[in-house]
Amino acid sequence: MKYNKIFVTATCGLSLLMSMSSCDDWLDIQPKGFTIPEKYADYEQLMNDQSLYRALDVYPSMITDDVQFVEKGTFPGFDLFEYYNKSEHFKNLYSFEHGQVFTPGNSDNIWENAYGNIFTYNAVINNVLTSEGGTDFERRKLYGEALVGRAFEYLNLVNLYANHYDPATAGSDYGVPLVLSEEITGERYPRASVATVYSQIESDLRDAVDNYLAETTATTFDPNRSVGYAFLSRMYLYMGNYKEALSNANSSLELNDKLLDYKDYKAINGQWGRLVAADDSGEEFPDEHKNLENVYTRVLNGTSYLFKSVAASEDLLETFARNLPADGEDMRMSLFFSKDQFDPYTRPGNEPNRFPGYTIFAPYIEMNIGFSTPEVLLIAAECEARVGDKDKALAHLDKLRDMRIKNNVHFPTTYSKDEVLKMVIDERRKEFAFVGLTRLIDLKRLNRESWFAKTITHSAGSEGTWTLPANDLRYIMPVPENVLSFNDMPQYER
């Protein structure tokens, strides 16, 4: 059999799918002795692979208006958010370079890991229902979970490597290759349209929600029906189908509307473990899979390149200051950011890192990029402000802000729909600053609306100033160069 060199270069995680003696120089798997598991337990083991729980990477944040770098030597002894000190792909994104982002020989981890995960999900989807062992309920449940996992990877891919969904152009806009088989054959995979990819995502999610997802699951790593509705609400929001997004958000909230009260925590010196209970009980901020507001847990890769290494832009800081009561304190800023200095030490006598006039991002917790109650609340709020009841939108905002802001004051109902919508967008930005693709996708979709469209300016002192206009193709990540070297795919001319 001839094998196609097309997608992934760094996934040896399909050991149950393939018996191998060494990794191929392109796929990083040796497809000799290709086997398909026959037992349910094997597919269960595949779905418990930890690599499936880590997704995306931090570098897309470098395109956004949330980040700020400084020129070399700005703060002697502390160079972690210097532009000069960053990797080439970070600098290429921050300076809005045209063309390829990754230099030759460097891999795009998001593309590679996503397609590696997709091959695993495909193996489960195409085989688990007829596997040996397990109950019918267990096999169907695993099938539904794999459908959600595949949809999750494709929604990320199509929003990062393609034009944002526009019903007028989605049928012709380049999407991403759509792979639905676990078999690696000699055929080439064309670049499917944005509309085709979204259609597959919608089909997978509808099938999972209507027929396979359980009401409850043992952990938040495994999706239940509430997650399915939350996922559909995100997908429809990105498509601009606000009526369907609202309907599914409401269905998700009916099943789960729990929130964590950030006012119960404070930040202390140190790094991991720096967020602890405000009552000095010693309890730490809950891990991502134990946080009651996280309904589907996926952990962001590459956080070591983000924590204490990225300064918040003035634009982001101004957003945090808006709509804050006179004596209010936004705990998202107090817990996850540090102004002027950061003390990573717990031992007396060690000097903190100092950066007067700047604020760095330093939460030192695992960041959930799956689905959470706050996101579903904010989707419901945005859709109510657009196509529904603005007072319900305000109620959703108040509910979330009560859990985030000390001395919160509820909004008056005198605000117009447009004013409420702007407040919802601000709240999304604060809630998901530096979390996965949220801000980048929001910029792409909101730039289509003239009153939200903005030009982003990045600077690094004397090292340069760069601008990115609304709807510029540089918002779209290029297909990696090492993929293009084997496959002639059409590209956006970024």
Mind listing the pLDDT tens digit for each residue in 452-478? 999 999 999 999 999 999 999 999 999
**CA 121 to centroid of chain Cα atoms:** 19
Partners of 405 in the β-ladder: 330
Give the span between the Cα atoms of 269 and 342, in whole angstroms.
8
- The CB-based long-range contact list for 94-97 (8 Å cut-off, 24+ gap) reads 94/62, 94/63, 94/67, 94/69, 94/458, 94/460, 94/466, 95/458, 95/464, 95/466, 96/63, 96/456, 96/458, 96/466, 96/467, 96/468, 96/472, 96/474, 97/474
Q: Residue 188: what pLDDT?
A: 80
Q: Residue 35: what pLDDT?
A: 67
Could you tell me the two tokens for 24?
């191929």
pTM metric for this prediction: 0.94
Give the span between the Cα atoms of 66 and 80, in whole angstroms.
17
Give the span between the Cα atoms of 390 and 413, in whole angstroms.
8
Question: Which domains does the chain show, CATH number per domain?
Answer: 1-494 (1.25.40.390)
Other beta carbons within 10 angstroms of residue 120's beta carbon come to 26
Which regions of the chain are under pLDDT 70? 1-35, 186
Give the span between the Cα atoms of 233 and 252, in whole angstroms.
9
Angle at CA of residue 369, ends 368 and 374, nearest 5°: 75
